[in-house]
Homo-oligomer: A and B are copies of this chain.
Amino acid sequence: MLSRGDSAVVYSYHCAAPMRDLQHEGIEMHPPLPSSERVLMGPGPSNIHPRVMHAMSTPVVGHLDSEFLSMMDHLQQMLREVFQTENRLTMAISGTGSAGMETCLVNLLEPGDKAIVCINGVFGTRMKDIVARCGADAVVVEASWGEAIDPDALRSTLSETADVRVVALVHAETSTGVLQSMDEIAGIVKDSGAMLLLDTVTSLGGAEVALDNWGVDAAYSGTQKCLSCPPGLAPVSFSKRAVEHILSRKTPVQSWYLDTSMLSKYWGSERVYHHTAPISMNYALYEALRVVLDEGLEARWQNHRALHEGLVAGLEAMGLSLKVRADIRAPMLNAVKVPEGVDEKQVRLDVMSRFGLELGAGLGPLAGSIWRIGLMGHSCQASSVTTCLAALGWALNRQGCNVPDGVAAALERIGG
């Protein structure tokens, strides 16, 4: 078990003081919702596709209504197509991507189990935290933030470690913009006999994700990245082997809400009530998946790649450079180095106030030194690239830089 001093858990807090008390501050109560539009080019959420927005206004029906149940069947089937899997246990968890991460870990791990967690950014770190909360032991394979996990390091850790239940890693690390190449890693894990758990939160729908080809046993994703859907659900998928393992657990899954043995009875043909499904969010995901499949998976990956290359060409023309070397860049999340002397936060504030453009800040050791520029789903458009380059140039010049134009180089690279 974790002790309170364990560095993986941020544990001290002060919720009494910092939460605001508007009533006693004399601030207007109950104002109407704000409705500003944004160009969302941070780490997610991305802009919502208009068909998805429309889908959320579909009348709500009951969670056991035959129309809803039929929709669930189709939603599962579309998830299988997007995940490239035939896994029967493929469904949407009623929480965000992090709930998907927790679902995979708490279902696969029991107290005393051993997991190898690959860490090269925020989300590997988070997996390690959850592994500890499962009462399991995490053995870490680490790479610097901005680097990929080295297959040889994983191979040697696997060979030195007995009885590894799960190897967990992140496909596209949202905190750094690294896309992990999967073929070699997948082979190594397969040879070891351990189960492979993959975070596809940021990659799904924007780059190839091939669960069955890679032999992935458990995967989770989120709705708000390359699926162009609001945050709120976590697609997950479990292999036959993972399901058999869950069935043979000695202890119950520690989370009732995320227990796949109960969830599968609602998503499966038994339709046993578990919790009330988030109807409108499932509608949104349903339509988002239709949009992805209407466009076609390969066309979508190519679009993400092409606009990423256009963005990079523009950034380089402006004299900016990326944190991650070209061959391991995630197309949907671009970590851009902040030039020396530039106030990175002011740039983000300026492009937000002038262009309604959201760029992401760096996290952890990269805070202050990078911007994270997302090109995800419906935000992955030529107009986003040109807006971003123009806005970034304008904001840098406001700080006394003398930045050349990047738009022309980007458009030339994108072509068409």
Interface on A for B, CB 8 Å cutoff? 1-2, 4, 6, 9-23, 29-38, 40, 42, 44-45, 47-48, 53, 55-63, 65, 67, 70-71, 73-74, 76-78, 86, 88-90, 94-99, 102, 126, 129-130, 132-134, 222, 224, 230-232, 240, 243, 247, 249-257, 260-262, 264-265, 267-270, 272-281, 283-284, 286-287, 289-290, 293-294, 352, 358, 363
Do A57 and B53 contact each other (CB < 8 Å), given the known contacts A232-B281, A264-B13? yes
The answer to whether A35 touches B58 (Cβ under 8 A) is: yes
CB distance from A87 to the nearest CB of B (A): 9
Do A243 and B16 contact each other (CB < 8 Å), given the known contacts A99-B95, A280-B230? yes
When C-beta atoms are compared, the residue in chain B nearest to A225 turns out to be B276
The answer to whether A88 touches B15 (Cβ under 8 A) is: yes
Expressed in whole angstroms, the Cα–Cα distance for A44 and B29 within the complex equals 29
For the residues of A in contact with B, the DSSP-based class is loop
CB distance from A133 to the nearest CB of B (A): 5
> Could you say which residues of chain B place their CB within 8 Å of the CB of A250?
4
Pick the 4 closest A-B CB pairs, nearest first.
A15-B264, A232-B278, A18-B269, A18-B268
Expressed in whole angstroms, the Cα–Cα distance for A40 and B34 within the complex equals 30
CB distance from A346 to the nearest CB of B (A): 15
The answer to whether A88 touches B22 (Cβ under 8 A) is: no
Partner of A40, one of B60, B281, B352: B60
When C-beta atoms are compared, the residue in chain B nearest to A224 turns out to be B276
The answer to whether A96 touches B276 (Cβ under 8 A) is: yes
Expressed in whole angstroms, the Cα–Cα distance for A405 and B265 within the complex equals 40
The answer to whether A278 touches B77 (Cβ under 8 A) is: no
Expressed in whole angstroms, the Cα–Cα distance for A322 and B13 within the complex equals 48
> Could you say which residues of chain B place their CB within 8 Å of the CB of A290?
30, 32
